[in-house]
Chain A
Amino acid sequence: MDLHLRHAAPTDDERAAVDALLGPPRSAWDGGERGDIRDAHTAAGGREAREQRHLLLPALRALQARVGWLSETGLDYVCARLNVPPADAWGVATFYALLSTSPRAPRVLHVCDDIACRCKGAAELIETLERTVGPAHSHAPHGDQVAIDPEGAVWMRSPCLGLCDHAPAAFVQEAGVEPREFLVGDAAAVILGEGEGSRSLRRSFDSLRSLRMTSNGAQLGMTSNGAQLGVTVDIPQRGDPALILLKRVGVVDPTAISAYRTTGGFDALRKAIEIGADAVIREVTDSKLLGRGGAAFPTGRKWDAVAKQPARTKYLICNADESEPGTFKDRVLLDGDPFAIVEAMTIAGFATGCERGFLYIRGEYPLGAERMQHAIDESREHGFLGADILGRGVRFDIEIRRGAGAYICGEETAIFNSIEGYRGEPRNKPPFPAQAGLFGLPTVVNNVETLANIPFIVLEGGAAFARIGTEQSAGPRLFCLSGHVTRPGVYEVPFGKTLRELIELAGGVANGRTLQTVLLGGAAGVFVGPDELDMPLTFEGVRAAKATLGSGVILLFDDTVNMSQILLRIASFFRDESCGQCVPCRVGTVRQEEALYRIASGKPLGGVAQEIALLDEVGLAMKDASICGLGQTAYSAIESAIHRVRVLGMT
């Protein structure tokens, strides 16, 4: 492979950003100064250079954070450093929503436009921004000489930011030498302040800069320079002694390893190493723990399959790419109890024979990434990670990889491609990850919440865990209550509670209004009606009711909501987040959105009934013929809204 580069010099900022990640170049072959005669007698490339490919996304993120967009010279320099063809890098860069491939102001406000935030005024916030600030930022065509105001600011719409308990939410990216990223809760109040419409976006940014964002008395997203570590995260059940997964959240300082250890931290890791890998897998199998990311696969069986693989190198991935609309449980765990995730990953790595783990966290969770990095560094320093864990010769380490705005990267094979530096397109299965996953090697992929159960299982035993909950649904479960509910937040309950009990736990429908419908399991889940609240929220209970728990979303819509707009937003979400690889999903999500748009705008083709028939046909093809779960479930929620809750009044 010959790289066709422009060899146009990167700006000082671009070079500094990339070199900070990769170190200085070694020769002209990998982006260094040209003209040194010694370079004419050596050559770099081949396997060693190709092994750098997995650093492509981190390098692109570094450029974005420093400069605010990816210029031709910046991309060219990254390609030279990593030996990646520019067209390939372009394909990766244009895949991610948080990377800008055209000139853009350094400060960007991403305003959530998704279903949970729409229950809390997101549409009004966006309408106000459009009216007072101007239209959302869009791509400047290639070749346009767009002057960037170094103090400028733009706003854009965003899919669910995982801050539904503090809706409406926003996410701020601020590029520069000291880049900042943070989530903003209660964004309407924060951004618009009292003098609605009178402020420019720029002034909003100035106020954001100095603001300490508070909500329910707790501070949320913070700066990324570590100065504000130690901020607590709030949950409604804070301090409840019955909690297992959330017991430390909001109570124990998430930045202090000493606080973690005095509350039982790393006891499970010590015990795991004592009893041995086989015994750990046996306990996890006995616990009947099922994956909490949405697919509900038995964790013990997954671990066992990887442990049995003869390959010498295997990988563990903790999937923290939580992006399902209405889901924010993993954020609370990452922000509130990061050491527990480190410990759980280490136990998983030890049990399955992985020496290297990746934590893939969505780009919109800067605080979680910062807390996790801190926890990893501290743990390594104290001998809980590294080449000789607890002095017992166990080797395991964790590396954080941050996403850049792509829901699909949470799919268990797309996450491999994203980490390897390719477009986050799902792979065909088989082969399954346990056989050929990350870098083609056996890989365990577990969701954050799944792993959070592990320390308890190891300490108390699989049988004790299996006694919690019901026969087929063991253990505690996190539910994300949002929308029109009195006390939105993450709730931990043992499996077996009904939907009604969960809603009552969160204070019922907000403002005493009437419940119209509940979305269970997220945008890929199912709408249920107010007559189905006695459904037990167990795997067997929802299966019997032809519903799903998905990622634990319980999103309430009261009778004021125009559901055809909500369905349209869900369709729009899938159209935006489809990777575009396979035809049923790439075109099907477009046709689905078009049909719902025609219905919502009163222009149905041949009547609403005909449009619904069309939606059913498109939905079935997406479900049957798409490569991955995104396309296969893209019609699920819409189908249930139409046929189960009958929000369009037909059928």
Chain B
Amino acid sequence: MTAASQPLVQLQRPTHATDQSRRMSTRTISCTIDGTPISVREGTTIFDACRQMGTEIPTLCFLDTLHPVNVCRVCVVELEGARVLVPSCSRAVEEGMVVHTNSPRVQHSRKLVLEMLASSVDLSTTPNVAEWIAEYDAKPERFGPPAPPAPAGTRDASIAGHHAPPNPDFAATVAEPTKIDNDLYVRDYAKCILCYKCVEACGPDHQNTFAIAVAGRGFDAHISTEFAVPLPESACVYCGNCIAVCPTGALMAKTEFDKRAAGNWDESRMTATDTICPYCGVGCTLRLHVDEGEIVKATSPLENAITQGNLCIKGRFGWRFVQNTAAPAGSDVGNGRH
């Protein structure tokens, strides 16, 4: 009997979170959060219940448009009667639950998680994290000075279950040179917190392309194409939906990356204008980020019902013709004067 002769019922990729959290019923569940009784619809997560009461729980790996993977552990809360803390982003509220979102245990874990991340990852372009580090009094430097970047390819070549001894003078980091292998976007994995969002967006949740996956194990785990081949050799279709969900700026459009490198990226002077993508009939909402009359980035709002923040390569990157000032020979089209 070969295994192949007995096909198994294969569900969609098993998500780490309870799918029940997404199935909404009309039943109402009562619980207590931080001393306040609240009733929510069955299936609501603790995270959403808190949001309904106006309590914002910090999180890095959760996004409304993706299945919760509950890996960053920033959103953990204390549940009375539970042995360990629980991830609020994926745990559904149960009848009679008593939740504490800011108990000393919660604060300790959040602080340590922030310290662990900030000491091993470059969080310089991660929104909100600086405020959280201050709020929880996190001191990432107490693990020692951060180790310098590893030579290119070192982390790609790690072997599961094997690692070099620590260096007593440094705290290990995931720093490595930025991967620039195409004209559209860069991958700066020194900024990667391994939130799985890009993998989910590229794979089962949005794009179904599966060009990238988590490879390696433990601290050496990293996002990779097969055999770490450059993106142009991979299955990547450059939809950029991974960029849209990346919470740390590890994935960044090349235009933004170059402007940042030149010290010329200032979001305070930019405007955002919503329009409709000019290409196909779907009519995706396109948000154009404009800096001094020049489009520097195109996104789509996460809350847009059609796109859920997603675009294709044309919508995300195909807008440079708008500001193409070099007119074709014998024409006055293209310089805005027609």
Residue from B14, B157, B193 within 8 A of A583 (CB atoms): B193
Q: Report how far A431 CA is from B11 CA in the complex, Å.
A: 15
B145 vs chain A, min Cβ distance (A): 10
Q: Report how far A626 CA is from B86 CA in the complex, Å.
A: 9
| Apart from the given pairs A2-B235, A420-B10, A627-B70, 18 other A-B contacts in the complex at a CB distance below 8 Å | A3-B235, A22-B2, A23-B2, A72-B226, A85-B213, A88-B203, A94-B158, A405-B161, A406-B161, A422-B14, A428-B87, A579-B217, A581-B221, A583-B113, A583-B194, A587-B117, A594-B144, A594-B172
Known contacts A399-B3, A427-B14, A614-B142; is A90 also within 8 Å of B160 by CB?
no
Residues of B within 8 A of A590 (CB): 120, 166, 172, 219
Residues of A within 8 A of B157 (CB): 102, 139-142
A87 vs chain B, min Cβ distance (A): 4
A428 touches B17 (CB 8 A): yes
Binds A, one of B204-212, B278-286, B299-307: B204-212
Q: Is the CB of B7 closer than 8 A to any CB of chain A?
A: yes
Binds B, one of A52-60, A245-253, A529-537: A52-60
Known contacts A91-B215, A141-B153, A598-B168; is A580 also within 8 Å of B2 by CB?
no
B143 touches A591 (CB 8 A): yes
Residues of B within 8 A of A85 (CB): 203, 210-211, 213, 235
25 pairs of residues in contact across A and B, judged by CB atoms under 8 Å: A47-B10, A58-B3, A72-B226, A75-B226, A88-B213, A95-B216, A97-B159, A138-B159, A141-B156, A142-B153, A142-B227, A405-B161, A422-B14, A439-B10, A440-B14, A576-B218, A580-B219, A582-B73, A583-B117, A584-B112, A589-B218, A594-B144, A603-B169, A614-B142, A621-B113
B226 touches A54 (CB 8 A): no
Residues of B within 8 A of A593 (CB): 166
Residues of B within 8 A of A399 (CB): 3, 6
B3 touches A55 (CB 8 A): yes
How many residues of A are counted as interface, with CB atoms below 8 angstroms from the partner's CB atoms? 96
A603 vs chain B, min Cβ distance (A): 4
B13 touches A422 (CB 8 A): yes
Q: Report how far A436 CA is from B73 CA in the complex, Å.
A: 23
A623 vs chain B, min Cβ distance (A): 7
B143 touches A86 (CB 8 A): no
A51 touches B8 (CB 8 A): yes
Q: Is the CB of A632 closer than 8 A to any CB of chain B?
A: yes
B217 touches A605 (CB 8 A): no
A95 touches B217 (CB 8 A): yes
Q: Is the CB of A586 closer than 8 A to any CB of chain B?
A: yes
Q: Is the CB of A1 closer than 8 A to any CB of chain B?
A: yes
Q: Is the CB of B20 closer than 8 A to any CB of chain A?
A: yes
A625 touches B73 (CB 8 A): yes
Q: Is the CB of B165 closer than 8 A to any CB of chain A?
A: yes
Q: Is the CB of B228 closer than 8 A to any CB of chain A?
A: yes
B221 touches A586 (CB 8 A): yes
B20: nearest chain-A partner, CB-CB: A431
Q: Is the CB of B163 closer than 8 A to any CB of chain A?
A: yes
Residues of A within 8 A of B72 (CB): 582-583
Residue from B1, B3, B214, B227 within 8 A of A423 (CB atoms): B214
A580 touches B217 (CB 8 A): yes
Q: Is the CB of A178 closer than 8 A to any CB of chain B?
A: no
Q: Report how far A518 CA is from B6 CA in the complex, Å.
A: 47
Residues of B within 8 A of A255 (CB): none
Residues of B within 8 A of A405 (CB): 160-161
Q: Is the CB of A203 closer than 8 A to any CB of chain B?
A: no
A620: nearest chain-B partner, CB-CB: B108
B109 touches A580 (CB 8 A): no
A600: nearest chain-B partner, CB-CB: B168
Most buried by A among B108, B217, B219: B217
Q: Report how far A428 CA is from B73 CA in the complex, Å.
A: 12
Q: Is the CB of B84 closer than 8 A to any CB of chain A?
A: yes
Known contacts A4-B234, A72-B227; is A584 also within 8 Å of B9 by CB?
no
Q: Report how far A614 CA is from B221 CA in the complex, Å.
A: 24
Q: Is the CB of B105 closer than 8 A to any CB of chain A?
A: yes
Q: Report how far A32 CA is from B13 CA in the complex, Å.
A: 26
Residues of A within 8 A of B23 (CB): none
Q: Report how far A416 CA is from B8 CA in the complex, Å.
A: 13
Q: Report how far A579 CA is from B142 CA in the complex, Å.
A: 25
B109 touches A578 (CB 8 A): no
A residues 157-179 near B (Cβ < 8 Å) are: 157-159
A597 touches B168 (CB 8 A): yes
Q: Is the CB of A346 closer than 8 A to any CB of chain B?
A: no
Q: Report how far A63 CA is from B220 CA in the complex, Å.
A: 24
Q: Is the CB of B32 closer than 8 A to any CB of chain A?
A: no
Contact indicator per residue, chain A 402-425, by CB within 8 Å of chain B (1) or not (0): 000110000000001100101101
Residues of B within 8 A of A102 (CB): 157
Q: Report how far A63 CA is from B221 CA in the complex, Å.
A: 23
A553 vs chain B, min Cβ distance (A): 20
Residues of A within 8 A of B10 (CB): 47, 50-51, 53-54, 420, 439
Residues of B within 8 A of A208 (CB): none
A587 touches B160 (CB 8 A): no
Known contacts A584-B73, A594-B166, A627-B70; is A439 also within 8 Å of B8 by CB?
yes
Residues of A within 8 A of B143 (CB): 591, 594, 614
A residues 569-610 near B (Cβ < 8 Å) are: 572, 575-584, 586-591, 593-594, 597-598, 601, 603, 605
Q: Is the CB of B250 closer than 8 A to any CB of chain A?
A: no
Residues of B within 8 A of A21 (CB): 2-4
Most buried by B among A96, A100, A136, A594: A594
B46 vs chain A, min Cβ distance (A): 13
Residues of B within 8 A of A101 (CB): 227
Known contacts A47-B10, A586-B218, A621-B112; is A87 also within 8 Å of B213 by CB?
yes
Residues of A within 8 A of B314 (CB): none
Q: Is the CB of B129 closer than 8 A to any CB of chain A?
A: no
Most buried by A among B2, B20, B162, B171: B162
Q: Report how far A422 CA is from B203 CA in the complex, Å.
A: 14
A575 touches B235 (CB 8 A): no
Q: Is the CB of A361 closer than 8 A to any CB of chain B?
A: no
Residues of B within 8 A of A601 (CB): 168
Q: Report how far A441 CA is from B14 CA in the complex, Å.
A: 11
A578 touches B219 (CB 8 A): yes
Residues of A within 8 A of B116 (CB): 583-584, 587-588, 591, 618, 621
Q: Is the CB of A313 closer than 8 A to any CB of chain B?
A: yes
Q: Is the CB of B30 closer than 8 A to any CB of chain A?
A: no
Residue from B2, B9, B109, B219 within 8 A of A575 (CB atoms): B219
Most buried by A among B113, B166, B169, B210: B166
Contact indicator per residue, chain A 625-647, by CB within 8 Å of chain B (1) or not (0): 11100001000000000000000
Q: Is the CB of B33 closer than 8 A to any CB of chain A?
A: no
**10 closest Cβ contacts across the A-B interface?**
A580-B221, A4-B235, A97-B161, A91-B213, A85-B210, A621-B112, A587-B116, A86-B226, A625-B109, A90-B226
Contact indicator per residue, chain B 1-44, by CB within 8 Å of chain A (1) or not (0): 11110111111011011101000000000000000000000000
B213 touches A90 (CB 8 A): yes
Residue from B71, B166, B210 within 8 A of A627 (CB atoms): B71
Residues of B within 8 A of A423 (CB): 214
B8 touches A54 (CB 8 A): yes
B residues 112-139 near A (Cβ < 8 Å) are: 112-113, 116-117, 119-120
B219 touches A624 (CB 8 A): no
Q: Report how far A593 CA is from B76 CA in the complex, Å.
A: 24
Q: Report how far A549 CA is from B182 CA in the complex, Å.
A: 55
Residues of A within 8 A of B229 (CB): 142
B160 touches A428 (CB 8 A): no
Q: Is the CB of A240 closer than 8 A to any CB of chain B?
A: no
Residues of A within 8 A of B272 (CB): none
Q: Report how far A94 CA is from B84 CA in the complex, Å.
A: 30
A residues 53-83 near B (Cβ < 8 Å) are: 53-55, 58, 72, 75
